[in-house]
Amino acid sequence: MSRNRVIGRRGELPWRLPIDLKRFKQRTTGHAVVIGRKTWDTLKGVPLPGRTNIVITRDRLLRAPGAIVTDSLDAALGAARTTHPDAGEIFIAGGAEIYRLSLPRADRIDTTLVDATIADGDAFFPEFEGDAAWRLVREERHPADAKHQFAFAFRDYVRERHAAER
């Protein structure tokens, strides 16, 4: 997300950060990835390879070859647990509405904070910083360079109450 919480603009990421895409692929490969229909549309019908793609949609007629289609977050999480009973991790990969629905149930947030303000963004990550339930456990900064238009930082948070339960 950008400094002003933008995660999308006209159905696309407003930046190109190859290291971020590589990290996302490394973290999610072999796991279930839950996305909303708008995010599915950005994939142009091509599921994320090496992952179980689970799409949440209100459109009962949606066909998503190579993905599991569900109508709620609960159904998506159930499908993820069924397809990956020993995986332990289920990844929520957007968009804004799916993040908003998932955040209260999450125990970890792995973010990329892009050092930019995107004025014309139309999809936003929900606010959570400042909530005492979340603790920053890792930050890794990267400068802008020839391949990365903006400086950015990987910032990983854990929910304190979940950490205490472990």
Domain range enclosing 15: 6-165
Measure the CA–CA gap between 7 and 46, rounded to whole angstroms: 21
Q: What pLDDT is attached to residue 129?
A: 75
Cα dihedral value 59, 62, 66, 67, nearest 10: 10
Per residue in 76-100, pLDDT (tens digit) is: 999 999 998 887 799 999 999 999 9
Does 136 score more than 90 pLDDT? yes
pLDDT averaged over every residue in the chain: 93
Whether 1 is covered by a domain: the verdict is no
Q: What pLDDT is attached to residue 164?
A: 45
Q: What pLDDT is attached to residue 7?
A: 97
Whether 104 is covered by a domain: the verdict is yes
166: pLDDT confidence band, cut at 50, 70 and 90? very low
Whether 123 is covered by a domain: the verdict is yes
Whether 17 is covered by a domain: the verdict is yes
Question: Bridge partners of 68?
Answer: 54
Mean pLDDT, to the nearest integer, of 34-63? 95
Question: How many structural domains does the chain have?
Answer: 1
Mean pLDDT, to the nearest integer, of 41-67? 95
142: pLDDT confidence band, cut at 50, 70 and 90? very high
- Residue 127 near residue 5, CB atoms below 8 Å: yes
Q: What pLDDT is attached to residue 111?
A: 96
Q: What pLDDT is attached to residue 163?
A: 46
Tokens of 97: 């509405």
Does 156 score more than 90 pLDDT? yes
For residue 49, which of 70, 82, 25 has the smallest C-alpha distance?
Answer: 25
Does 36 score more than 70 pLDDT? yes
CATH number, domain containing residue 76: 3.40.430.10
Q: Which residues have CB under 8 Å from 154's CB, separation 6+?
A: 20, 23, 110, 111, 112, 138, 139, 140, 142
Does 33 score more than 80 pLDDT? yes
Does 161 score more than 80 pLDDT? no
Whether 55 is covered by a domain: the verdict is yes
Q: What is the pTM of this model?
A: 0.91
